[in-house]
Amino acid sequence: MTEILDRQTDQNLVRPETSTRTSTRAGKTTLHRVVVVGGGAAGLELVTRLGDRLGRRSRASVTLVECTRTHLWKPLLHSVAAGSIDPGEYEVNYLAQAHWHGFHYCFGEMIGLDRARQEVHLAATFDDEGRQITPQRSLGYDTLVIAIGSVTNDFGTRGVADYAVPLENPVQAERFNRRLVNAFLRAQTQPGPVRPGQLHVAIVGAGATGSELAAELYSTTREVVAYGLDRIDPERDIRIVLIEAAKRILPGLPERISEATHRLLERMGVGVCISAKVTEVTAKGLMLADGSFIASELVVWAAGVKAPDVLRRLDGLETNRINQLVVERTLQTTRDPAIFAIGDCSDCPRHAGSPAPVPPRAQAAHQEAAHMARQIERRLRSKELQLYKYRDFGSLVSLGRWSTVGNLMGFPLVRNIFVEGLFARFMYRTLRLMHDRAVGGTLFAVLSLLARALARRTNPPVKLH
């Protein structure tokens, strides 16, 4: 036991070469190189903090590696898919963010890693016409933080790749929204009546994303029809079906939240199928394990997540069964103390002796980014790293204009209370405001809120293109 504790302590201490200044081959000195791969909620908040604290003060060189141009907070993806928000009003441009907050933006996708040379390998990038934008190259680091998030897990189900749309990023969310609007225009202009299942939407996976999407779609589909699509009867032709393999929806949340959400969804007219396993997705609908068939020409797959496959090819770093990087409570990977992992791609224990990992939630990404920023500052000062401890402040599920339900935890005098209605909706919107504040500061968050409120008064309540 003593040997284990000593080894852990050695990993927590910074090596001599991880000081603020690092020697180069030419005999010159350069800043300590901090590279963050992935610009999601965790990665963007982290580089923003580091850029403000270290980059602007020339205490370290901070670089963000990201294969997209803009950032959209992931809990908003279901609203983009439903058409209730315009993503352009909520996106953060990485190049501008880097300029404003003292870090570098490197456009590219990580495809490999050389731990001995401390280099991240990046793929070449190309535009829509096939012309090369950036070449394949390598980027050196002294401290590497991997925060590339998660992707959809289809569990090998037939037809998912061909007929279902996942919700991993804004491109996919907008793709589904275009399919939805096109389906309505097709039904409006076709010579015959609406076919059975033609305007049905099946959502596989009744976690927070699937449940929130179902509620948003129930409202936005009726908004779209109201703009002159008189050949479509919402009550007769449109049906939203939520499908979950577990015994209840929101299986990862407290049962009281699950029951309240189930009641609200059924009250608004959303079909809910529980204990239903999808075995195949076709162009006309879903085949279930019990032999039944759900007709639906629009399918969203939100049933499970895993970390990207590239993590299994990172020069021997330890991963779990869903590709997440296994990390110590310091957030260091188990096989390299110079490499850290945060966010959904990280398999981090909640606390000492806990078999359950930190859940893939927005609050976890926010907490890990804040902790990681302090870790890197301690690393530069050659101080022992601190152990990360996840604090669960509860969960909130937004059902559009209908309601918001959830529980609050971890506050003084509040152990676990159930919330619903206007107060819960206010708390849910506060989460987005907190992310905006972490990314751009208080003034940015307030001005963004006002700008979106004004835009809503001049635009349709639902995206129609």
Which tokens sit at 442?
Answer: 């208080």
- What is the rounded CA–CA span in Å between residue 348 and residue 109? 24
| Planar angle of CA 182, 183, 184, nearest 5 degrees | 90
Q: DSSP readout, 128-197?
A: TTS-EEE--EEEE-SEEEE----EE--TT-BTHHHHEEE-SSHHHHHHHHHHHHHHHHHHHHSSSPPPTT
Note the pLDDT of residue 421: 80
Is residue 122 within 8 Å of 139, Cβ to Cβ?
A: yes
Per-residue pLDDT of the chain (465 residues; tens, 9 = 90+): 333 333 333 333 333 344 555 544 445 558 999 999 999 999 999 999 999 999 999 999 999 999 999 999 999 999 999 999 888 889 999 999 999 999 999 999 999 999 999 999 999 999 999 999 999 999 999 999 999 999 999 999 999 999 999 999 999 999 999 999 999 999 999 999 999 899 999 999 999 999 999 999 998 999 999 988 999 999 999 999 999 999 999 998 889 999 999 999 999 899 999 999 999 999 999 999 999 999 999 999 999 889 999 999 999 999 999 999 999 999 999 999 999 999 999 999 887 667 788 988 889 999 999 999 999 999 999 999 999 999 888 888 888 776 788 887 766 555 678 787 877 788 888 888 888 899 998 988 888 888 888 877 777 777 776
Q: What is the pTM of this model?
A: 0.89
Note the pLDDT of residue 122: 98
Note the pLDDT of residue 21: 54
CA distance from start to end of the chain: 62
Among 346, 344, 310, CA closest to 326: 346
List Cα–Cα distances, 176 to 16, 288, 297, in angstroms: 51, 23, 12
Note the pLDDT of residue 19: 52
Which tokens sit at 91?
Answer: 């996106």
> Across 4-45, where does the E strand assignment appear?
21-23, 29-31, 33-37
Name every residue whose Cβ is closer than 8 Å to that of residue 205 and which is 6 or more positions away in sequence: 243, 244, 301, 302, 303, 304
170-189 vs 208-226: helix crossing angle, rounded to 10: 40
